Amino acid sequence: MPDLRTPYYLIDETKLLKNLEIIKLIREKSGAKSVLALKCFSTWSVFDLMSQYMDGTTSSSLYEAKLGHEKFGKETHAYSVAYSKDEINEVAKFADKVIFNSISQLHSFYESVSNLKVGLRVNPGISYSHFDLADPARKFSRLGVCSQEELEAVSDQLSGIMFHFNCENDDIENITDAINQIGSKYSNVLKKMQWVSFGGGIYFTKDNYPVEKFCQVLKDFSETYGVQVYLEPGEAAITGCAELVTTVLDIVHNEIDIAIVDASIEAHMLDHLIYHTNPQISSHESGEHRIIVAGRTCLAGDLFGQYELDAPLKIGDKISFADAAGYTMVKKNWFNGVAMPSIAVKRLNGSVELARSFDYTDYLNCLS
């Protein structure tokens, strides 16, 4: 293993493969295809492996769609909450499917993409999320078409529809009931479609998830309405496959010991700060030594969390934070000018490669 300078994200392809094998099984058992949600994970240094098990990518912007097309290949699904005219013209050059978020966008740009498979996002009025911030069907949601009448009026222009209504849904009974509700509510439109996407946020790679039952639900839906079902896994594809590796730079004391590492929760694992959660430490066992681990920015709340570890931390110790793939590298930022973590990959053969490093020039060039 190379002597990597912290901080760095370490992606383990063997752990990634475990998730990909489940995705492959779902395809074989249910017929459902899976496209990677790039909004969650866009680290293309492992796309060669992922593309062997997935059918393509789905995006939330022109740049994501272009990245998926260039680096992943296979199917390119292009969705955006709102396109500009220039973006539509660019997306139309390479996308396989273009999915609009609203009736007005469909009307505005349909002629530009009518030669492609055109889809529309639908808000079914039901959802599953632990956080209102991430709830696609929250009050006043702008995400997807709510009116069944408006949907039916444009259905002849569509080849498919997309329902993205989950966030970390690990409840098989809930997702089964939701899919059945969608089938009942939209049956007239569904029978006109070639494909239907159930979006992302379904946690089917969680330990002990009833995959066989999930596959049967998907297969039954596909056969009932004569559609190709798509899933858009983001976190489900990459959960548990990466760590953020840091080094303790200092330990200060203010009623409790506080270890300051060479990374930042705000800059490098932002979702934990947004959702008021704490990453798990994977490099140390739990115990009786209580300590706070903090980031090195000037933000007072730049805290990874309070932990009880098996031994006191010392300056120079390495600390690894678990599950550091999803919504981390795609959200990392240069706040305080703190050094950006490198990206390393542990390949299937056990070798570790430095895929990307960042320096002052990168910081300089992202500004003006």
What secondary structure, in 3-state letters, does 258-316 show? EEEECCCHHHHCHHHHHHCCCCCECCCCEEEEEEEEECCCCCCCCEEEEEEECCCCCCC
Q: How many CA atoms lie within 13 A of 56 on its CB side?
A: 20
Q: Does the pLDDT value for residue 1 go beyond 90? A: no
How confident is the model over 155-171, as a mean pLDDT? 96
CB atoms within 10 A of CB 73: 13
In the prediction, which pLDDT does 163 show?
A: 97
Residue spans of the domains in the chain: they are 13-238, 242-365
pTM: 0.96
How confident is the model over 100-123, as a mean pLDDT? 97
How confident is the model over 151-174, as a mean pLDDT? 97
Q: Does the pLDDT value for residue 27 go beyond 90? A: yes
Q: Does the pLDDT value for residue 2 go beyond 70? A: no
Strand pairing report for 286-294 and 352-356: unpaired
Confidence grade of residue 44 (pLDDT, cut at 50, 70, 90): very high
13-238 belongs to which homologous superfamily? Alanine racemase (3.20.20.10)
- Which segment of 15-19, 121-125, 134-138, 248-252 scores lowest on mean pLDDT? 134-138
Look at domain 242-365 and name its CATH class.
mainly beta
Structure token digits, residue 141 = 């949601």
Query: Average pLDDT of the chain?
Result: 97
The DSSP result for 65-110, as a single string, is: HHHIIIII-SEEEEE-SS--HHHHHHHTTT-SEEEESSHHHHHHHH
How confident is the model over 211-238, as a mean pLDDT? 98
Q: Does the pLDDT value for residue 118 go beyond 70? A: yes
Contact 179, 221 (CB under 8 A): yes
Distance from C-alpha of 363 to C-alpha of 357, rounded to nearest angstrom: 12
In the prediction, which pLDDT does 3 show?
A: 82
